[in-house]
Amino acid sequence: MNRNVTQTVLSLIAVLTLNFPVMAKVQPSPINQDSSVPWSKVTEDSFEGKIVYDKDFGGFGESYAIVSSWSKQAIRLSYFWQVKEVDYYKQVKRTRSVWRNNKYEEEVYWEQEPVYKYFWKSRSPEYIMFSINGQLYEYQGGKISDDLMSALANAPSANLKIRLVWSDGSTTDATIGSGTVNAWKTVYQMDSQE
């Protein structure tokens, strides 16, 4: 009887998975902000074909980067941010001048000082929104639609704002540089055989 119940549950899971596939999500970028790749230039990748990489850094005092890769196979994007945490405390010898007996004297004292560690975290959006030539497009992971490919190939030669939509519904706007936008013309051009 246990075996029949197990088979029934597995069959039900299989049916639900086929009829209600997991929502697509933008895959993480295969590179990070420190990768040694040609940024905003079309290159050839053994697995993806023509590809262009882009990065957008936060302004002064902000420690984040939005890194993306653009090919006909997929758009991959990661939002990286730097985290600062106290690793441990060290004892530091300090001196100060104090007024004693009608004169200044140097006094030694010890103080704890934090030592920090820095590391990067990352996440990928649920989907990406585009506004190109007055039309709105969404990329939700997986195969890029022909409409979006055509829009990317024909985007104006300028910086382009995109909107990243996170799993909690919040959004972050990012800028794709004009060099990458121009590279899309080569990456996303439709071949005559397609």
Residues of the chain with pLDDT under 50: 5-6, 8-22, 193-194
CA separation for the pair 15, 87 (Å, rounded): 49
What integer pLDDT is reported at residue 73 of this predicted model? 93
Looking at residue 9, its pLDDT comes to: 44
User: Which residues touch 90 (CB under 8 Å, ≥6 apart)?
Assistant: 112, 113, 115
Q: Give CA angle at 64 (86, 132), nearest 5°.
A: 160
pLDDT (tens digit, 9 = 90+) per residue, 59-98?
Answer: 655 688 999 999 999 999 999 998 999 999 999 999 999 9
Q: Output phi, psi for 89, to 5 deg.
A: -115, 140
Backbone angles phi, psi at 63, to 5 degrees: -110, 75
User: How crowded is residue 160: how many other Cβ atoms within 10 Å of its Cβ?
Assistant: 19
Quote the tokens at residue 177. Answer: 């540089």
CB atoms within 10 A of CB 92: 10
- C-alpha dihedral (57, 60, 62, 65), degrees to nearest 10: 10
Q: List, in sequence order, the alpha helices (H) in the chain.
A: 2-19, 146-153, 178-187
Residue 31's closest CA among 62, 50, 53, 46? 53
